[in-house]
Amino acid sequence: MIQNLWNDADAAEYVTKHHDPDIALRVYTSHLLGREPRLVLHGGGNTSVKTIATDLFGNKVAVLRVKGSGWNLSSIEPGGLPAVRLEPLLRLEQLEQLSDESMVNYLRTNLMDSAAPTPSVETLLHAFLPHKYVDHSHALDVLALVDQEDCENLARRAFGNRVGYVPYIMPGFLLAKAAASQYRRDPQVEGLLLSKHGLVSFGDTARESYARTVELNNLAADFVQKNRRRSVFIPLAQPGKEIANQADIAPILRGCLANAIEKDSPKRWILDFRCSDLIQAFVNGKGLTEYANRGTITPDYLIRTKASPLILPFPEAGALEEFRCETANAVADYIGGYRTYFERHNSQRNMAEFPLDPVPRITLVRGCGLFGIGKSAEEAAVVADLAETWVDTVSAAEAIGRFRSLDENEQLAMEYWPLEQAKLRTICEPRLAGHVVLVTGGAGTIGSAIGRAFAREGAEVAIADLNGEKAAAVARASKRTALGAFCDVANAESVRSLFDRICKRFGGVDIVVSNAGAAWSGPIATLTDDLLRKSFELNFFAHQLVAQNAVRVMRVQKTGGAILFNISKQAINPGPNFGAYGIPKAATLALARQYALEHGHDKIRVNAVNADRIRSGLLTDDMIRSRAQARGISEKDYLSGNLLEWEVTAEDVAQAFVHHALAMKTTGNVTTVDGGNVAAFLR
Ligand code: ZN
């Protein structure tokens, strides 16, 4: 059940803000619809209002203000509702046929503002219905009734004659015509059910149209509630063995997806895991392979989720190698199946020259849950949200009848429809899209610059720091989807649990910047044992713990990776009284070389950055002042005391790490970021 959230005071506020009441209330109820995930999700659904605009000559022109492409109902503004001249739109209904290209061209030609976004592909559906307000949603509870073998009959029982019924037709011109003629046959109705697609409701006011959407959805929810069978999915007998940890499963799946197509340059994906009682019941059902392959719940999911999920068996703890083989085989079968599906139906329809990438977007793991798969964390989350609503709707549909979706060839037509594919076109994929980077010591000046630099390259970012709160704040500032986490890098359990968290959040890790460190000083001959050991714990052993875990995950993924150390100038050019810092850093340089040597065959590249005199937590403003004074020079001269006579910044260091992450054929290398210092030249 969903709530009718109409509120007169809120409505009045929208009118005050947007002046024109027609548009203001259209924006208001679009927000109400868009913010209810059971009605629309991620760009789904569309709304319109028929109103009056004034042209350059002062003439009043009837227009349809309808959702434009690229806008979400939850956040739409008046600019997202382009005005199209209504009269020319209405004339289109006389035509027998109208190609997509002609339709889009005609819509754009009749815009009042030539720079407005392209009106929705469902514009004509809104135009041909006579009502002032029209709301189109993919209401989940309604879908449970219309995604059925026997949908017309079920719909009658649930809604009586409050709605008209339109059999499945692909969105566009023909659906708009069919909907309008169905409405004319029975003009008393409050809405139309679009078979295997969703709900259209309408009214004379924004309030009436919105209230009908809510009421019709709730009628459907009520019907499902009263008529549901007790047990929907008969559970498969569980093997009775311990189930593997999700943090161990994710890198296996991520690696198999990456390696399925091009082993030399694996395509990396981000995973988003979901689980609930409903998902468990769904993935553990005996008939899973059958009911999960019956297709989407509404056509516009197809471009994001594909029609079928990848299904993986129960992952037993302690038998992960077996699970990997099963996963690799299942992915290969899926890809083969996807290509066959394309060839089978494309030969008749000729929708595209080549199949789209054949990688699954939803993965179901028995005993475990589901993964959304995307090119970024954001995209994976969208897929996971849609997958959850798919599970919800198929479960409800199966509880009252038999879930039925589009036929395979209708699915292909929708998935490859150029007007749908246009929604996904990205300008240019960033260089590190799909990569996951961990930065330790990530809350400091250098660490946060590294996190930001990788985020700009499109990578997913995990910021770890001893100060968990600061790590969370830095993560939030670098990217909306970034993970901020506490980690004591000198503690083995803490490091292990950090890597587990990253695998659970993103599916694995590709680039590890082992950056955490702290400086202690004192004359070497009188240094206390405690202090030197403390420094070794953080400036050497912690790097080893981080590198060990990085290798562990990267070897599971089998997609190579980069382990990068911040080793400081001290590792190469020791300074007096800095032994406590420089000696473990020198050992870390040796550590980097050892890892490069032993893991080159895993395609894991191991490099180090040797930075000096960066204004940061290790070289504070006070320290800069006193060192400059001690040398009798200005602070500026102190900071630019190098061959290039140029101050080196945290951003310069960050760029060196990005460079190493991108340099695919470089390992065992040290990059100097110190403006030039002869004593620190590597010999
Ligand atoms: Zn739709």
Instruction: Give a three-class secondary structure readout of 349-398.
Output: HCCCCCCCCCCCCEEEECCCEEEEEECCHHHHHHHHHHHHHHHHHHHHHH
Do 246-407 and 8-226 have the same topology in CATH? yes
271 vs 274: CA distance, rounded Å: 10
Q: Which of 121-130, 339-348, 443-452, 518-527 has the lowest mean pLDDT?
A: 339-348
* Model confidence band, residue 215 (pLDDT cutoffs 50, 70, 90): very high
What's the confidence (pLDDT) of residue 424? 75
pLDDT digits (tens, 9 = 90+) for 240-254: 789 999 999 999 999
* Catalytic residue, candidates 165, 183, 334, 581: 581
pLDDT, average across residues 372-382? 96
Residue 300 CA to ligand 1 center (angstroms) comes to 7
What's the confidence (pLDDT) of residue 426? 67
Among this protein's residues, is 14 annotated catalytic?
no
Domain at 436-680: CATH code:
3.40.50.720
What's the confidence (pLDDT) of residue 252? 98
What's the confidence (pLDDT) of residue 24? 97
328 vs 309: CA distance, rounded Å: 15
What's the confidence (pLDDT) of residue 43? 81
Beta bridge partners of 47: 135
331 vs 256: CA distance, rounded Å: 7
Residue 507 CA to ligand 1 center (angstroms) comes to 32
What's the confidence (pLDDT) of residue 186? 94
Residue 177 CA to ligand 1 center (angstroms) comes to 15
Residue 122 CA to ligand 1 center (angstroms) comes to 7
Angle at 230 between CA 229 and CA 233, to 5 degrees: 85
Looking at every residue in the chain, the average pLDDT score rounds to 94
What's the confidence (pLDDT) of residue 409? 87
What's the confidence (pLDDT) of residue 356? 86
Q: Which of 3-7, 14-18, 412-416 has the lowest mean pLDDT?
A: 412-416
Contact 575, 582 (CB under 8 A): yes
pLDDT digits (tens, 9 = 90+) for 121-156: 999 999 999 999 999 999 999 999 999 988 889 999
What's the confidence (pLDDT) of residue 417? 84
Beta bridge partners of 133: 49, 203
Residue 135 CA to ligand 1 center (angstroms) comes to 10
Residue 134 CA to ligand 1 center (angstroms) comes to 13
| Residue 133 three-state SS | strand
Q: What is the DSSP letter of 429?
A: -
Q: Is CATH 3.40.50.1170 the right assignment for the domain spanning 246-407? A: no
Residue 44 CA to ligand 1 center (angstroms) comes to 7
pLDDT, average across residues 261-285? 91
pLDDT digits (tens, 9 = 90+) for 463-519: 999 999 999 999 999 999 999 999 999 999 999 999 999 999 999 999 999 999 998
Q: Which CATH superfamily is domain 8-226 in?
A: Class II aldolase/adducin N-terminal domain (3.40.225.10)
What's the confidence (pLDDT) of residue 683? 65
Sketch the domain layout of the chain as residue ranges.
8-226, 246-407, 436-680
Is pLDDT at 265 greater than 80 in this prediction?
Answer: no
Residues contacting 10, CB < 8 A, separation 6+:
28
